[in-house]
Copies of this chain bind each other. A is one copy, B any other.
Amino acid sequence: MIVGVLGAGQLARMIALAGYPLGLDFIFLDPSADACANSLGEHLHGDYNDPRLLAELAERADVVTYEFENVPSDVAEFLASHTQVHPSPKALAVAQDRLIEKAFFHSINIPTAAYAPINSFESLEQAMSFIGWPAILKSCTLGYDGKGQSLLKSIDDLKPAWEQLEGAPGVLEAFVPFTREISIIAARNVSGAIAFYPLSENSHRGGILRVAKSCNNDPMQAQSETYVSRLMEALDYVGVLALELFEVNGQLIANEFAPRVHNSGHWTIEGAETSQFENHLRAILDLPLGSTTAVSKTAMINFIGGLPITEELLTIPNSHLHLYNKAPRKGRKVAHATIRSENNEDLTALIKQLTTLADKVDDS
């Protein structure tokens, strides 16, 4: 059985590592010559919309999935007309555009921050009057890791923020004074069975995820499951999906969702009975989903811009290293580490040790 993946970065790499034990083989389509999943499957090297490569992928893969959702919609449509594609082009289209995504959340009664579409400097000025300060201006498409986002704290910020959009459509969002950033990872298979992971509690800096922690028996678990299952059902979603949420005064507000495996779920490799990567594959192949039970308290620390010294990291008890085989570059995720512990105090101390290592090499 051959799984085709659009993208051959670290997510594709970890999908493949989870897929070999299930007897799967992989073909990746990726424009980067040294894409880091290369050595784990066949690499079709070219643009995501290269018609010859897409035809080859559609012809040879039994099922196609994504590690990167920002592919042109006609690519997803083309593939879906020739082979099985999960998640569906519709889910991709909703996730690709922040305005469509927010409208979709509203249509299924999932609360979001107040927002307004922005397509001119005047519309930005007008929207500020009812969104209020502070607010965030984001490009509707192609943003990730905080790219294409500007925090607006005073009138002086308006002009540079607008200019940063370079004429692209934007969305203005009220700033949410959250107490916690969390995400829920869930998997839904072709038959419609859903499995929910325990919540991840996430810490960002500079718009990039730094630490994610598993939260067993979290008070927000049930509400998060309600929202994510509503979203998956409404999209007839197949695969793993991550819904990012803000917690504000005991209420949840949806930020965005990713129609794929997600950085905040990397802890599931060691920390859950079945990883998000294996469950994504089980979901798209319509296999029974694996247990999502947490096997202990687990945290994941990202290494951004620079690599930890392997010897130093592995000296930390119960630490697990995941190198992505990517050349270090400013702001680039090049590795993560996972740490497990049975008690919160130890876990906090271990996270501290790992974040110290991460901060040492972090140039972002």
Contacts and interface: CB of A to CB of B under 8 A. Distances in A.
A23 B322 CA distance: 8
Contact of A41 (B39, B274, B282, B325): B39
Q: What are the nearest 3 A-B pairs in CB distance?
A: A23-B323, A21-B322, A288-B314
A13 interface: yes
Given A21-B17, A40-B40, A314 B290 contact: yes
A22 B323 contact: yes
A310 B40 contact: no
User: How many chain copies does the complex carry?
Assistant: 2
Given A23-B323, A25-B39, A291-B318, 12 more contacts: A20-B40, A21-B321, A21-B323, A22-B321, A22-B323, A40-B40, A274-B320, A282-B314, A287-B310, A287-B311, A288-B311, A290-B318
A315 interface: yes
A291 B317 contact: yes
A78 B99 CA distance: 65
Contact of A17 (B17, B288, B296, B322): B17
Interface in A294-332: 295-296, 310-311, 314-315, 317-318, 320-323, 325
18 contacts: A17-B21, A20-B39, A20-B40, A21-B320, A21-B322, A21-B323, A22-B323, A23-B323, A39-B40, A40-B40, A273-B340, A274-B320, A287-B310, A287-B311, A288-B311, A288-B315, A290-B320, A291-B317
A282 B321 CA distance: 11
A177 B170 CA distance: 78
Nearest to A291: B318
A262 to B, nearest CB: 18
Contacts of A274: 320
Contacts of A288: 311, 314-315
Interface of A: 13, 17, 20-23, 25, 39-41, 273-274, 282, 287-288, 290-291, 295-296, 310-311, 314-315, 317-318, 320-323, 325, 340
A13 B290 CA distance: 23
A21 B282 CA distance: 21
A294 to B, nearest CB: 11
Contacts of A314: 282, 287-288, 290
A191 to B, nearest CB: 11
A300 to B, nearest CB: 13
A25 B34 CA distance: 14
